[in-house]
Amino acid sequence: MSNGLNPEQQEAVQTLKGPMLVLAGAGSGKTRVVTFRIANLIRHGIRPDRILAVTFTNKAAKEMRERIGLMLGPRRRLRRGEQKPPTPVIGTFHSNCVQILRRHAPKLGYPTKFAIYDRGDQESTAREVLRQLRVSAGILKPGDFLSHVSRWKNAGVRPEQAGELARSDAEHMAASGYRRYQQAIKLAGAMDFDDLLLLTEQLFIDYPEARQEEAGRYDHVLVDEYQDTNQTQYAIIQSLAAGHRNLCVVGDDDQSIYGWRGAEVQHILNFRNDWQDAKVVRLEANYRSTTAILTLANRLIAFNKTRHDKVLKPARAGGAAPRVLQFKNDVEEARGVTEEIQRILESHKREARDFAILFRTNEQPRVFETELRKAQVPYSLVGSQSFFDRKEVRDLLSYMKMIDNPKDEVALLRIINYPQRGIGAKTVENLLADAVANGHSMWETMHNRDFVSRFPEPAKRGVERLQSIVARFKARHAEPGATLADALRDLVYNLDYMGAIERSYPTPEEVQTRQASVEEVINAVAEFEGEAKEPTLSGFLDNVALAGKEFGSPKEKEQQRNAVSLMTYHSAKGLEFPIVYMVGMEEGILPHRRSLAENYDDVEEERRLCYVGVTRAQDELTLCLPLQRMKWGKPRDTFASRFLYEMTGQADNPNRNRSIQGARKEIVNSQRAAARKKAKGAKPAPKRGD
Ligand SMILES: Nc1ncnc2c1ncn2[C@@H]1O[C@H](COP(=O)(O)OP(=O)(O)OP(=O)(O)O)[C@@H](O)[C@H]1O
Ligand SMILES: [Mg+2]
């Protein structure tokens, strides 16, 4: 073994041409192969910017970029006027599609500066569409409506076809809403996340010359987490790689966890059919986890019937036996885990960043947040939208969005009268009605002097005021030497936004926190400008939209650098942590109740999720089971997850189905027995409620 690669990895890294598949289990170094291979290609003279790598998250992309940077040696400081040296293009499917669509959007009837709608924007649009159709939230919630739409989009179902496929009343309603929704966002010059992929696919089908142009940018394409590509992503990759055929994909069929979103594990299993001369590399050694942890992982995944048989062989011997801890209820679970982390932190043997608490549903982290905050343990809730949920952040982004793309009605409506400028609800209604009647955007309508002159005086002044604020932002931004952050700072000043905050909130503390958020937005812009190749307003907004849940202010990012990670199994994919807690190991949570209601395949996907969780752990793994959980304000008994029995080798336990209470004791007893046998003198774990 040289330079930290085993012979199979070496082979994959040193293959410089042709199609290749690396199919291997968790922690076997697949991502490492992708990273090393990119560095190796560059060392062999391939121009960095002719290499495209697709990762599953922005975080993974960032890590890969940093790793490659380190491997290729320190960057020289640029001389004045010197261009940044080319770097490989590393990003998610979505960020790649944005780049492509920015170059070709007009072909598809969208403005070059199309907006990207995040979840909040989508929900506003959905609410409006459902309101127009007079569908109450009792019949179809905006969130459920969007799920239907997303499912149709991912299955390639167009609005006109959706009606035929609809079965229930709610689906019929969603189908008619789908068409309006699509019209509304297109009119707003916006795309949602699904559109980014679908429109790229469509572009490639309808415009072969655009496809050629885009494919011609690269000589090498590499894809990580290939098992989770859906039909559209698959088609995009085929288009980009068909010419040069230098396509390297890596993945693990046992970690396919996006079936619910249309991912098809068949793409990885059939890779050889599409690329017949593909080299296939298998990696078997797991470098991440201890033997004890891998034993659990191997036992668990063997219960899945539809899979390719493979076993992870530990490269790291021994390790502490994973524990199963039971707690009286979910609050005690959060408290127990927090106390244990706090104790370990106080011993200075580990740092906060060494810990991850993994969960299945978005309701679970709330109690953990409360406990961690109380204990003053730094944590970061990965995937939470906390930064965006703040009103101030959304407001300022809306200003930037409507300046960038004046058609973006969701953004315009949000700030049209905030801070207050005399544009009341009636005026907004008139503007909207006229815009719809004349097929104009609202912003265009606001520039129709005849129309606006009929408004009452305060409204007229308000409209003019907003126009001049936008004009001043643009002028300021266009000044030589002025940064985007400068323009934004001026905007905040011209809006008297800080004053508006003072007038809106009663306590000084609240005013202060909210004003601090404003500063954080400006800081985020400044940080972006320092890092980006092309620090434009559109670029910043793309970055925000794509980073989505991962986006934070510089201050938050700093805090998160050394914090306990709280995250779902879905967002933990590809990551690793020395100490992992999997919490809420109960039926209905993992496996999730939705998967139990439907069919068998879904339980297999839940098992893969559990497998992803187990294989994140490097040194220590703890599985937690609260014996009760609050539901609708009442404590309810839980049932231990079937996966607990499977992992601990008790799947055939006769008590398991007869008495859940007995089964629980089994787990506790077997764990106690193991603890007694080991009796290593380590402090006993907090055990409550047994
Ligand atoms: N040959 C090797 N020698 C030493 N350590 C290695 C080797 N290969 C990989 N590792 C380490 O093992 C860990 C897992 O590697 P990596 O994340 O690339 O695995 P993976 O197959 O991508 O996992 P996952 O399926 O979870 O995405 C990392 O810490 C990596 O640095
Ligand atoms: Mg990986």
Q: Rounded distance, CA 428 to CA 416, Å?
A: 8
Q: Does the C-beta of 9 come closer than 6 Å to ligand 1?
A: yes
Contact predicate 115/404, CB 8 Å: yes
| CATH class of the domain defined by 115-188 | mainly alpha
Question: Is 391 assigned a catalytic role?
Answer: no
Question: Is 224 assigned a catalytic role?
Answer: yes
Instruction: Please tell me the residue having the least CA distance from ligand 1 atom 13.
Output: 288
Atom of ligand 1 nearest to the CA of 575: 26
Q: Where are the alpha helices (DSSP H) in 362-483?
A: 365-374, 386-389, 391-404, 409-415, 425-438, 442-446, 449-453, 457-478
For 433-449, the pLDDT digits (tens) are: 898 888 888 999 999 99
From-to residues of CATH 3.40.50.300 in the chain = 7-98+200-283, 313-385+560-675
The position carrying tokens 């098809």 is 264
Distance 117 CA to ligand 2 centre (A): 29
From-to residues of CATH 1.10.10.160 in the chain = 115-188
3-state helix, strand, coil in the chain (%, to 5): 55, 15, 30
Domain 7-98+200-283, classified CATH 3.40.50.300, yes or no? yes
Q: Rounded distance, CA 557 to CA 574, Å?
A: 20
The single residue of 128, 195, 201, 225 carrying the catalytic annotation is 225
For 454-486, the pLDDT digits (tens) are: 999 999 999 999 999 999 999 999 999 899 999
From-to residues of CATH 1.10.486.10 in the chain = 388-422+446-547
170's CB contacts (< 8 A; 6+ apart) are 139, 140, 144, 148
Domain 313-385+560-675, classified CATH 3.40.50.300, yes or no? yes
User: CA-based angle 75:79:81, to the nearest 5?
Assistant: 120
Q: Does the C-beta of 252 come closer than 6 Å to ligand 1?
A: yes
Amino acid letter for position 164: E
Distance 312 CA to ligand 2 centre (A): 14
For 88-146, the pLDDT digits (tens) are: 999 999 999 999 999 999 999 999 989 999 888 899 899 989 988 888 878 888 988 99
Q: Rounded distance, CA 614 to CA 294, Å?
A: 8
Contact predicate 137/143, CB 8 Å: no
Q: Does the C-beta of 10 come closer than 6 Å to ligand 1?
A: no
pLDDT > 70 fraction of the chain, expressed in percent and rounded: 91
For 256-311, the pLDDT digits (tens) are: 888 877 778 888 888 999 999 999 999 999 999 999 999 999 999 999 987 877 87
Pairing of strands 355-359, 577-582: parallel
For the chain, the distance separating the N- and C-terminal CA atoms, rounded to the nearest angstrom, is: 49
Instruction: Please tell me the residue having the least CA distance from ligand 1 atom 30.
Output: 29
Question: Is 616 assigned a catalytic role?
Answer: yes
HSE, side-chain direction, 13 A CA sphere, residue 365: 21
In this prediction, residue 406 carries a pLDDT of 92
Q: Rounded distance, CA 617 to CA 679, Å?
A: 22
Q: What are phi and psi of 112, to 5 degrees?
A: -55, -35
- Considering the chain, what is the average pLDDT of its residues? 87
State the average pLDDT over residues 56-70.
89
Domain 388-422+446-547, classified CATH 1.10.486.10, yes or no? yes
In this prediction, residue 688 carries a pLDDT of 36
Contact predicate 358/585, CB 8 Å: no
**Helix (H) / strand (E) containing 228:** none
In this prediction, residue 269 carries a pLDDT of 83
The single residue of 65, 335, 616, 664 carrying the catalytic annotation is 616
In this prediction, residue 102 carries a pLDDT of 94
Q: Rounded distance, CA 90 to CA 39, Å?
A: 12
Tokens at residue 22, please? 């690396």
Give the predicted TM-score (pTM) of the model: 0.83
Q: Rounded distance, CA 58 to CA 550, Å?
A: 8
Amino acid letter for position 34: V
Instruction: Please tell me the residue having the least CA distance from ligand 1 atom 29.
Output: 288
